[in-house]
Amino acid sequence: MVAGFARARQICEHEQPDEPGGTPLDDVTQMTSSQVGRWYQYFKGMLAYAIVEAGEADLLYATAKSNHELAKKISMARQSDISDKTPAWKVEAIIADDQKYMKARVELQKKQAYKEAMHVQVKSLEHKAELFSREITRREQEAEQS
């Protein structure tokens, strides 16, 4: 499912409006109604994909957090088993568990950064879509008053 969304997002990005009048961060009041409408549709489409990706990032983070907690508990429990008489094979197994815990911790940090980045992207796209939505509303109100 996510691969389908990624492909759809690539298509949406490829079809980004390429209009005279600059980027959407320029003064939207200087754009034609057609340009404003196309940019609005573009940002709404990108926002939909970003929301899906942010949801996926939340799930990946939750999984990484669960894996991290489990690895931590196993590592802590196994470390208490070490003594001077612990066989070498058991010490090696305990070290392996500790390495799994460290890997899980690194993976958790990566997933947290990804999750945070996706939520920032959603907020940014929401803001841009709202900017164009307000401009469309303003123009519609002006047209009604004329």
Q: What is the pTM of this model?
A: 0.71
Residue range 30-51: average pLDDT? 86
Sign of CA dihedral 67, 70, 73, 78: negative
144 versus 1: which is more confidently predicted? 144
Q: Give the span between the Cα atoms of 23 and 16, in whole angstroms.
A: 10
Q: What confidence score (pLDDT) does residue 5 get?
A: 56
C-alpha–C-alpha distance, residues 81 and 66, integer Å: 23
The string of pLDDT tens digits covering residues 91-115 is 888 889 889 999 999 999 999 999 9
Cα separation, 23 vs 105, in Å, equals: 40
Q: Which two tokens stand for residue 95?
A: 């070290």
Query: Rounded mean pLDDT of 36-45?
Result: 86
Q: Lowest-pLDDT range, 10-24, 65-79, 95-109, 124-138?
A: 10-24
- What is the token pair recorded at 75? 């590592």
Whose CA is closest to 127, among 43, 71, 69?
A: 43
Q: In this structure, what DSSP letter does residue 100 have? A: H
Phi, psi angles (nearest 5°) of residue 127: -65, -45
* 54-88 per-position pLDDT tens digit: 999 999 999 999 999 999 998 888 877 778 888 88
- 98: part of which helix (H) or strand (E)? helix 88-145
Report the 10 Å Cβ neighbour count for 78: 18
pLDDT, mean over the chain: 84
